[in-house]
Structure 1
Amino acid sequence: MTADLGQIESVTIQLQVYNRLREALFTGKLLPGESLTIRNLAAMLGTSPMPVREALQRLVAEHALTQLPNRTFCVTPFTAAMFRELMRVRMAVEGLAANQAVRRITPETIARLREINLEMKAGVEEGVPTAVMTANRAFHFTLYESAEMPQLLDIINGLWLRAGPYLMNAHRKLDNPTPFLRAGTLFHERIIAACERGTSTAAARAIAGDIWHSARYFRRNVDVINEATPPAAAPPRGVLAPRSAEEAAEILRLLQEAGLAAVVQGGRTGLSGGARVQPGELVLSTERLTAPPTIDPVAGTMTVGAGVVLEAAQQAARAAGLYLAADLGARGSATLGGMAATNAGGPLALRYGTFRQQVLGVEGVLPDGTIVRRLGGLYKDNSGLDLSQYLVGSEGILGLVTRLVLRLHPAPVARRVAVCTLEGAAEALALLPALRAGLGPDLQACELMIDPLLTETCAARGLRPPFADPAPAALLIEVAGADPEACGARLEAVLETALEAGRIRDAVLSASEAECLRLWGLREGCSQFLFQNAGPITSLDLSLPLAAIPAFLAEAEDLCAGRARPYVFGHLGDGNLHYVLACPPEAAPTDEIFALTARHGGAITAEHGIGADKLRWLPLCRDEAEIAAMGRLKRAVDPGWILNPGRILSRPCPQTPEARP
């Protein structure tokens, strides 16, 4: 009996996971072009990998997902099959007239259909695609269930499952989908009217018209729907997933002997193409380097596998009453090894520094198979060169990180978040010294958002704006410390002084943790808006001297005039601007923006790294001698140039013509 109960529980969990993944597909939460892994989905759903694996295989069998050679999954590409499914529904609808199914629809169902259509209309007018698609799906499901048409329900269910991500993507990417969506609500009104009259023929005609209207629309816009999908990676020759440094060392020695290249992959959340597979490469995955966090509460350190995701490490630190001072929007997917390899930044870098400052030691494997093991967790160790830091920020070209020792901090007792509005970036920079002086070490984050980014984010994503009137710029400020009252009082005092002096227009201050999360939701919503709602974009990650930011922004806006619409936000305290160009990629003035950044003494990447995508611009911020020195280091540990070739450095590297091609 116990075994039977266990089996029932297992089946129940599998079904729950399957249904949750279906819902994510229906509502477009799993986006076209997004790389899905069993581990990342399990973390997202808060379950073990086994039921996720079963659910993914079922969705592959239903053609909703496609399995890729490197054991990842993606939403099945949008093809003519989608249109054929729509036509199948249209033909099946004719059966409504034949069997008088409409007459089974009750007055209560008609009232519910009218409510749903009103919800859809509201979503259309407010510009909230998720609400529109949810209401549209609910309308059809309610209609077919009430008409007792299970065959038709199955067809429409399958269609939504496969097309949901693309329908959502279409609404996010098309310039003005509102007329199409309004027309959909009109078709729904015709369907409701026919159902009220009990006229099956008229209802079938209205439903078929609605379906045909959608089919023509998506056929006409299929290129726009698909254009946001990132460049496809080449299929890997194979995937190698070591479980230890020793296995990784053996793999790399064999690759050197065979002259085979490999690219390191962790959570694949990078934005510079560093983990994208190039033709002929194997994948060296960290997915099995998942030694769980071990915490030394006395030393304040954590020893952990490189394949562990950031969020799991954060939770382990919190459970021990400590704090891992690193955070990213991709915390549920980004792996610690990848964060070390890219020297990840994020909003907490203002107070705690980049990820490099959190790394006390590393176990790693050089491309020639040499194991470097510095896991003592010593805060001070000047005995020879620090090879741990040699690997941090190397983007995988100098070795594979397998384990890390991370610095932990006392957990803040309380935090307060404020958002204030200003006249522009210059005014935000002028406020920064007052924030540092008045808040001291409690100043944890200082995030700049240049309008219209915040205004458009709130409108597109259904967020409540913090102020009635938009302002040229907004600044999110977070303080965290050991004294809740003093923490909030200092922030209030600084903002009050700034308001009286006319340095800021207005301010709102959190009074609870829920309000902290809501205000941070505005900042994180900016990233989501840009990647999901703003159309085709080119995202630049710039580092600038603080004093140069106002002049840079003015000159960059002139460069973009008539070519691209710039959206700007970033980590003001450390000079890191995310400068996002909304325009077709081929029209983006990337060369000019990077050159302007260099003229102002900045760097073309602050957090994301060079990877493969920014390689040709490296000479803008590193001179010939520096690049040559990087090449000599690379060749010394990787004579075959086999690990992450074509990232940071060309292959063969400049000034190293003898490097093996």
Structure 2
Amino acid sequence: MDTSISVLAELRGAIGADSVMAGDAMEAKHFADWVVKAAEGAGPIAVAYPRSTADVSAILRVCHAHRIPVVPQGGLTGLVGGATPVAGCIALSLSRMRAVEEVDAAAATITVQAGVPLQVVQEAADAAGLLFPLDIGSRGSCVIGGNVSTNAGGNRVLRYGMTRELVLGIEVVLADGTVMTSLNKMLKNNAGYDLKHLFIGSEGTLGVVTRLVLRLFPKPESVCTAFCALPDYAAVLELLRRARGKLGGALSAFEVIWPEFYKLATTEHGVRPPVGAAAGVYVLMDSLGSDQEQDTAIFSALIEAALEDGVVDDAVIAQSYRESREFWSLRDSVAEFQRTFDPHVGFDVSVPIGRMQEFIDDCRAHLVARYAPVRALWFGHIADSNLHICVKQEPDGPTKKEIDQIVYGRVRAFGGSVSAEHGIGLLKKPYLEYSRSPVELDVMRRVKAALDPEGILNPGKVF
């Protein structure tokens, strides 16, 4: 009997015939993540839809016994090919594992299955009078298991940290079907190795995350937002220094936008310009607090002092939540790039904050040296070292590979990271060594070999 037929029969026997789809019954969405399609003829032999950890364990036991690759899939919103299937694999979709199991107000935690959409986690926390702070643009379609597996970042990292800082407990199924349950709710727990960190950010290569205990926080009672025009990047660093000193932990976002992005957003994206268009650089800044009147006074004093001292040339402070959202609509207009700036090559990198402008100037110079009319956009979270770059592709310009080599080469030269918050997947694999030493890569491979000796979990991804 053909191995794939045998495997499908075993899987259907283990988790139910209605939970394993093959052939024409497979939905097309499972053949790609958001941007990377499976190679021609390299789709999955089936898609399995577990409803529980026990189902995931059964799937992996069968696949491990037959050495069949397994590619975990969440909301399929990834940008680096981490969930793209490989030839002859089983795609393991978490889309039926959508239970919010518990909100524990005393412990300030929420326990969920890995297939729960991020927005549902946020709404469940909100209904309990609490906040789950992770927030990214794909909140309605990405799922929490994928967020954890890629260690997602987003707009509030400055205050609350990456996803890694929001996970207290984890349940994960190893390659051979072994279930490791560690649904810890305690902030302090130093009983041996904290194994959850092996799986957070490992992109499904070490195990399949099935359930999570996540940290919740008090809901902010105040929001202050300002949009500022500054003369140069040195002024950005000074404003950040002042904001950290005056706002402390209330500072929740510090987005920096360079003129190329600002011009595109306020002309072709139809966003109303909050300030004049002649600045050297722009800053969108948020603080979250507990007393609107008091917090507004402190925030306003910070901006006024920066204006008086010439650190900021122009600034507008939002007078309402609606106006705050209008400011953010400029930053979020990145979603319009497919309409106004395609085809382009996008980058999500980290560079030391103090050298960010130097990096941009150097990177731009290398791109111009290759193609003088090059167009590039620069923007990012910056206070957490994260810079986004979009380089327009032109018919007579450099190829995607050439652009990648230029940008990632400059990242390496500046001691940065080729991936700030999207993972490695397939697209960044050739450049992982730009940011990790040979010893680090060797340790990663040893961990992989120990937990997945047959190499069935998301093969070909990361390294």
TM-score normalised per structure 1: 0.63
Q: What is the rounded CA distance, in whole Å, between the counterparts of 2:238 and 2:245 in structure 1? A: 12
Secondary structure, in 3 states, of the residue corresponding to 1:589? helix
Alignment match of 1:253 (pick from 56, 61, 64): 61
Is 1:541 the counterpart of 2:355? The answer is: no
Name the CA shift for 1:595/1:368 in 2 (closer, same or farther; >3 Å): same
Give, in angstroms, the shift of residue 529 of structure 1. 2.6
Alignment match of 1:524 (pick from 332, 344, 352): 332
Q: What is the rounded CA distance, in whole Å, between the counterparts of 1:386 and 1:249 in structure 2? A: 22
Q: Any stretches of 5+ residues in structure 2 without a counterpart? A: 1-22
Secondary structure, in 3 states, of the residue corresponding to 2:315? strand
Is 1:639 the counterpart of 2:453? The answer is: yes
Aligned counterpart, 2:377: 567
Aligned counterpart, 1:268: 76
Aligned counterpart, 1:197: none
Alignment match of 1:388 (pick from 160, 185, 196): 196
Check conservation: 1:449, 1:474, Cα contact below 8 A: yes
Letter in 2 for 1:583: Q
Q: Any stretches of 5+ residues in structure 1 without a counterpart? A: 1-66, 75-228, 650-661
Check conservation: 1:363, 1:372, Cα contact below 8 A: yes
Is 1:71 the counterpart of 2:21? The answer is: no
Secondary structure, in 3 states, of the residue corresponding to 1:346? coil
Aligned counterpart, 1:486: 294
Give, in angstroms, the shift of residue 622 of structure 1. 1.1
Check conservation: 1:419, 1:509, Cα contact below 8 A: yes
Name the CA shift for 1:336/1:73 in 2 (closer, same or farther; >3 Å): closer
| 1:196-207 paired onto structure 2 within 5 Å | none
Q: Deviations over 1:269-313 (max 9, x none)?
A: 111110112222221111111112521011100001110111111
Q: Deviations over 1:420-439 (max 9, x none)?
A: 01123332122111010111
| 1:484-633 paired onto structure 2 within 5 Å | 484-525=292-333, 527-561=334-368, 562=371, 564-584=374-394, 586-587=399-400, 588-633=402-447
Q: What is the rounded CA distance, in whole Å, between the counterparts of 2:26 and 2:195 in structure 1? A: 31
Letter in 1 for 2:399: E
Give, in angstroms, the shift of residue 71 of structure 1. 2.1
Q: What is the rounded CA distance, in whole Å, between the counterparts of 1:458 and 1:235 in structure 2? A: 41
Moved more, 371-380 or 475-484: 371-380
Check conservation: 1:293, 1:316, Cα contact below 8 A: no
Aligned counterpart, 1:443: 251
Secondary structure, in 3 states, of the residue corresponding to 1:518? helix
Alignment match of 1:355 (pick from 157, 163, 172): 163
Check conservation: 2:36, 2:80, Cα contact below 8 A: no
Letter in 2 for 1:244: S
- The structure that is helix-richer by fraction is 1
Secondary structure, in 3 states, of the residue corresponding to 1:461? coil
Aligned counterpart, 1:471: 279
Please say which structure displays the higher CA radius of gyration.
Answer: 1
Letter in 1 for 2:246: G
Q: What is the rounded CA distance, in whole Å, between the counterparts of 2:284 and 2:197 in structure 1? A: 32
Moved more, 346-355 or 461-470: 461-470
Check conservation: 2:170, 2:184, Cα contact below 8 A: no
Check conservation: 2:379, 2:388, Cα contact below 8 A: yes
Check conservation: 2:35, 2:78, Cα contact below 8 A: no
- The structure that is strand-richer by fraction is 2
Give, in angstroms, the shift of residue 72 of structure 1. 4.4
Aligned counterpart, 1:208: none
Aligned-pair identity in percent equals 38
Give, in angstroms, the shift of residue 487 of structure 1. 1.4
Report how many aligned residue pairs link the two structures: 428
Secondary structure, in 3 states, of the residue corresponding to 1:555? helix
Give, in angstroms, the shift of residue 352 of structure 1. 0.8
TM-score normalised per structure 2: 0.89
Aligned counterpart, 1:232: 37
| 1:25-174 paired onto structure 2 within 5 Å | 70-72=26-28
Q: What is the rounded CA distance, in whole Å, between the counterparts of 2:294 and 2:336 in structure 1? A: 35
Q: Deviations over 1:523-549 (max 9, x none)?
A: 111x21323320111111111111111
Give, in angstroms, the shift of residue 413 of structure 1. 0.6
Check conservation: 2:36, 2:84, Cα contact below 8 A: no
Give, in angstroms, the shift of residue 266 of structure 1. 0.3
Give, in angstroms, the shift of residue 69 of structure 1. 5.7
Q: Deviations over 1:337-362 (max 9, x none)?
A: 00000101012000111000000000
Secondary structure, in 3 states, of the residue corresponding to 1:311? helix
Letter in 2 for 1:573: A
Letter in 2 for 1:465: P
Give, in angstroms, the shift of residue 258 of structure 1. 0.8
Q: Deviations over 1:27-60 (max 9, x none)?
A: xxxxxxxxxxxxxxxxxxxxxxxxxxxxxxxxxx
Name the CA shift for 1:426/1:72 in 2 (closer, same or farther; >3 Å): farther
RMSD across aligned positions (CA): 1.7
Name the CA shift for 1:422/1:407 in 2 (closer, same or farther; >3 Å): same
Alignment match of 2:134 (pick from 309, 326, 329): 326
